[in-house]
Structure 1
Amino acid sequence: MEAPEQDRAQARRAQHVRIAERLLAAVTAGDRAAQVACYHPDVVLEFPYAAPPVRVEGKAAVDAYLAVALGVFELRLTVTRVHDCVDPDTVIVEFTGTGRARTTDRPYANTYLAVLAFRDGLVVGQREFYNPVPAVQALTATPAS
């Protein structure tokens, strides 16, 4: 790859990292509209470790899914590491999440890894990996004493 091509690829990669950070900041702010604004109309969200696994296709379906999901959990997400990929249109982000389940008021904490694919400057694919056990624990009502 020639230097000008490398420079363009690096600039594109840096822009994608900023979008990924903006996406996660929107979750922390509870701003679904700002989160959805980061998504391409053809976006596909995948949560392979959810029980059962979840796949949501299209921006409108993602918006509806997030309306429910963000109503269940209040989260603060913190980026801990960003991995550069050979493909400048792919970004891998590691982050932590802390907060609570709104339905039980129980604490929640988890670590995540998200593989983000970009098209036209927006997220077109998001595969998110996390341990599902903390979510189940946070959503389970405290046993009676």
Structure 2
Amino acid sequence: MAKHDDTVTDERSGMLATINAAMAASSARDVDGVLELCTDDVEMRSMFQPPGFPNHATGKGAMRSMLSATSRYSKYAENVVSIEAMLDPDNWVVELEGDMVVQATGRPYRNNYLLRLHFREGKIATWVIYHNPLTQLIAFDMINPDDLPAPPPL
């Protein structure tokens, strides 16, 4: 169903404001602030998560539990690099840079994240996270970077 251009523009402006509010709340570890911007049946998936880390949640209660994993960090900040609207007016891509410190190891954890957000009725209905799990494993002392194989010669 086609929407009038002005309606799409207004809806997209609202979604952009919601994304900025969600990213600010997430960086501040304001779980309630994030959840109020999501649908009741929100689905969150974190792709490429190592074993022992939460990777999927359906519904606000499960998402609350998944977001509580931020307690593993003594410092936690997510900085928005870019927000891009996709061709489908309800879908967005968000690029983040994480600046964290793992509480258990004291190691810095700086990862890059790509989020795909899908909206329904003005709220986030799907939140998919992509990141580099090797960076995460190193920060949590689960692997030693010196043990990683050298890249093949060009």
Give the alignment's Cα RMSD to 1 decimal: 2.3
Q: Is the aligned partner of 1:91 residue 2:92?
A: yes
Q: Is the aligned partner of 1:36 residue 2:35?
A: yes
Q: Is the aligned partner of 1:17 residue 2:6?
A: no
Q: Is the aligned partner of 1:100 residue 2:97?
A: no
The whole-number CA distance in structure 2 between the counterparts of 1:71 and 1:63 is 12
Question: 1:125 corresponds to which residue?
Answer: 126
SS at match of 2:48: coil
Alpha-carbon deviation of 1:127? 0.8
Alpha-carbon deviation of 1:51? 2.2
Q: Deviations over 1:53-108 (max 9, x none)?
A: 822111111111212x1111332111111112122211111111112112222111
The whole-number CA distance in structure 1 between the counterparts of 2:103 and 2:65 is 18
Alpha-carbon deviation of 1:122? 1.1
121-130 or 77-86: which moved more? 77-86
**Per chain length, whose mean CA-contact separation is higher, i.e. which structure has more relative contact order (CA < 8 Å, sep 6+)?**
1
Tell me the matched-pair count.
141
Q: Deviations over 1:35-64 (max 9, x none)?
A: 122211010001121125822111111111
For the pair shown, which has the larger CA radius of gyration, 1 or 2? 2
The whole-number CA distance in structure 2 between the counterparts of 1:89 and 1:60 is 24
Contact 1:26 1:34 in 2 (8 A): yes
Gaps spanning 5+ residues in structure 1: where?
A: none
48-57 or 76-85: which moved more? 48-57
The whole-number CA distance in structure 1 between the counterparts of 2:118 and 2:93 is 9
TM-score scaled by length of structure 2 = 0.82
Question: 1:114 corresponds to which residue?
Answer: 115
The whole-number CA distance in structure 2 between the counterparts of 1:76 and 1:134 is 16
Q: Greater share of helix residues, 1 or 2?
A: 1
